[in-house]
Structure 1
Amino acid sequence: MVNVRTAAKKRKTNETFIQISCNLDDPTTVEINTGIGFFDHMLELFARHGQIGLEVKAEGDLYIDSHHTVEDVGIVLGQVIKSALGSKEGIVRYGSAYVPMDETLGFIALDISGRPYLHFDAVLQNPKLGNFDTELVKEFFQAFALQSGITLHAKVMYGENTHHKVESLFKALGRALSQAIAIDPTIKGVNSTKGIIE
């Protein structure tokens, strides 16, 4: 069993240049710079609550809007997490978390299944938080789920403040992922009757 699970990837298009590295076993280094302040804050919360090391550098066409940058970070982050997990031997596989944020309660349940899927249920009344378009929360989660091969359910149970809603989801994503990627020494091979998680 490999003790340290790391991966890094670069992705360059005409719209963005994304560089991401992660360390699933050492949360010491968290450095985020996407040029989108609120998004940086959310990714840092995800990493801190997920107890993973994460470095993200993104250059995007922010003179247009944040869409391409946020979506492409989701794509590359999903790919990096999937790569760092390798064969997925010994991982718990499932994780879930409720996270309260003042009046808001967010919930994430996920399965590192190899079958990407997103169910997203959140009403985000405020269309903008800083220079971040809140409709991009779903776009990020969608890109992340598809590229990581994770079945992901995200729901804001209730709440009023849009900042609190989004923050609760990113924190819950980190906490649920932390559970799912944990190594259980009692699991022999992968945690699937199929004998493989693609």
Structure 2
Amino acid sequence: MASPAAAATAPPPAHADGWTPTVAGHSLPAVTGPRSATVQRQTKETKVEVRIDIDGSGKCVTQTPVGFLNHMLDQIASHGLFDVYVAAEGDTWIDDHHTVEDIALALGGALAQALGDRKGIHRFGEFTAPLDEALTHVVLDLSGRAHLSCNLEIPAQRIGNFDTELVEHFFMSFANTSGTTLHIRQLAGKNSHHIVEATFKAFARALRRACEVDERRAGKIASSKGVLTQQ
């Protein structure tokens, strides 16, 4: 695996059909930090590019056809203090499933690349976030092992045009490519928008903690095995 620094400085490969990811006609901002990465994902259904800088300041620039997801990506950036840049096109005339899935897969893959061998990080993160009557608890482990346990009871089938079934699928896809063990528990909530937004805020804060450098680790891997595998 290339070092995070190498991944950050190497130019991203061109998309197969020459697609150039842009937001409002402008190219996505570059990510050049030592813990940053760019991932492109292209299928017959979607074209996605995600850039992330773990040690950012909460910047979020997105252009996807899923408006509510753009709002949630902003929560991840703002509360995780990550810089997150996403451009995507997808077959949303069918539904949003493929686009949401592939953005999450690319985001998880970018995080995994940016973390590199995961030396010196806290590894574990936990946060409980309220939003008015809603309350969600998230615990995660950047273990290299993908797992999702999700207990959300979202009353509405849709928030605007967004299918709320895709919330769990987003986190499952992210966990699969990032190598994250992720537990999500809804403790309270009646308003669907509040429940989902509280979940993304709690996730962002927990992920921020897990990614932060543990000074007492002195660059060592937080595992008795000495490795956080991706398999």
Of 77, 84, 104, the residue aligned with 2:114 is: 84
Distance 1:131 1:39 in 2: 11
Larger Rg: 2
Question: Which residue among 187, 195, 198 is the counterpart of 1:168?
Answer: 198
Which residue of structure 2 aligns with residue 197 of structure 1? 228
1:109 counterpart (126, 136, 139):
139
| Offset, 1:4 | 2.5
RMSD: 1.3
Residue 177, structure 1, aligned to residue 210, structure 2: no
Secondary structure of the residue that 1:147 maps to in structure 2?
Answer: helix
Cα distance in 2 between the residues matched to 1:148 and 1:97? 19
CA contact 1:66–1:131 (8 Å) conserved in 2: no
State the match for 2:44 in structure 1: 14
Q: Which runs of 5+ in 2 are unaligned?
A: 6-32
* Residues 55, 82 of structure 2: 8 Å contact kept: yes
The DSSP-based 3-state class of the residue aligned with 1:186 is helix
In the alignment, which of 115, 140, 145 is matched to residue 170 of structure 2? 140
User: CA–CA distance in 1 between the matches of 2:58 and 2:208?
Assistant: 15
Q: Secondary structure at the match of 1:126?
A: coil
1:73 aligns with 2:117: no
Question: In 2, distance between residues paired with 1:47 and 1:170?
Answer: 10
Consecutive aligned runs of 4 or more in structure 1 exceeding 4 Å deviation? none
| 1:183–1:38 CA distance, 2 compared to 1 (3 A) | same
Instruction: Report the Cα distance in structure 2 between the residues aligned to 1:44 and 1:150, rounded to whole angstroms.
Output: 20
1:27–1:54 CA contact under 8 A, matched in 2: no
SS of the aligned residue for 1:142 comes to helix
Residue matched to 1:58 = 88
Confirm or deny: 8 A CA contact 2:64 2:86 kept in the other structure.
yes
TM-score computed with the length of structure 2 as normaliser:
0.83
| TM-superposed deviation, 1:28 | 5.2
Quick one: percent identity of the two aligned structures? 41
Q: Deviations over 1:129-187 (max 9, x none)?
A: 12210000010000001110000001111110000000001001100000000001210
- Quick one: which amino acid aligns to residue 194 of structure 1? K
Q: Distance in 1 between matches of 2:60 and 2:189?
A: 29
- Tell whether the 8 Å contact from 2:158 to 2:164 is kept in structure 1 after alignment: yes
**Contact 1:37–1:130 (Cα < 8 Å) also in 2:** no
What SS class does the counterpart of residue 93 from structure 2 fall into? coil
Give, in whole Å, the separation in 2 of the partners of 1:159 and 1:49: 20
In 2: Cα distance, 1:28 partner to 1:46 partner = 8
